[in-house]
A and B are shown apart, each in its own frame.
Chain A
Amino acid sequence: ELKVEQNPLFLSMQEGKNYTIYCNYSTTSDRLYWYRQDPGKSLESLFVLLSNGAVKQEGRLMASLDTKARLSTLHITAAVHDLSATYFCAVDTLDSGYSTLTFGKGTMLLVSP
């Protein structure tokens, strides 16, 4: 059974600080997604990482994937309040030959002044 572990599960940061969210998974996969969810809302796609060594950046967020270590990171640079949300990683694996996503439990990020 695939396990996807995110840590930390809760992160309180001050504006301007840097931090990294980690996503470890237990089986081979070369496809990983990061999503953002605001309270009461749907999931918004942030990054799609499709190969070992993939690095994607958008604004203050940067995601990377190391398939050998089965690890993805989401790095936050100089956090601002607008980044407050819950962030999920999701691993894309084949189930009976078809792609499905397995999610981590999410990291609730709170950025305060």
Chain B
Amino acid sequence: DAGITQSPRHKVTETGTPVTLRCHQTENHRYMYWYRQDPGHGLRLIHYSYGVKDTDKGEVSDGYSVSRSKTEDFLLTLESATSSQTSVYFCAISGSGRGYGYTFGSGTRLTVV
């Protein structure tokens, strides 16, 4: 989607290895989010950021960490990947103020073998 890109788009990794997913935006939006999507669960919030170096946990944050050192980049790290973290990961951005709207990236399909 215009203004938000995720990388990589696909990744296969081995259990126990660290993995970092990147979300990059060009909209200068304050808020950024990481969700995971699994069949039968919809999308669930992992972590979110409300500014540079300001982050908080979501519903399913165990096993994940995030960093935001610049407005445009929000990184999601799996310190030691497990098979239960096989999922599709979506990044989303939102401007300031509630009801501003959320834009989602194209997603990263991660497979942990």
Contacts and interface: CB of A to CB of B under 8 A. Distances in A.
Interface bin, chain B: 20 to 34
Interface residues of A, number: 25
Do most interface residues of chain B lie in helix, strand or loop, or is the interface mixed? strand
Interface in B59-97: 59, 90, 92, 94
Interface in B27-55: 31, 33, 35, 40-45, 48, 50
Nearest to B58: A100
Q: Per DSSP, are chain A's interface residues mostly helix, strand or loop, or mixed? A: strand
B42 A98 contact: no
Contacts of A43: 43, 90, 104
Contact of B99 (A35, A41, A48): A48
13 contacts: A31-B98, A35-B104, A43-B43, A45-B102, A48-B101, A88-B43, A98-B48, A98-B50, A99-B94, A100-B48, A103-B35, A103-B42, A105-B40
Interface of A: 4, 31, 33, 35, 41-43, 45, 48, 50, 88, 90, 92, 94-96, 98-106
Given A42-B104, A43-B90, 15 more contacts: A4-B42, A42-B106, A42-B107, A43-B104, A45-B103, A48-B99, A95-B56, A98-B56, A99-B31, A100-B48, A102-B45, A103-B35, A103-B44, A105-B40, A105-B41
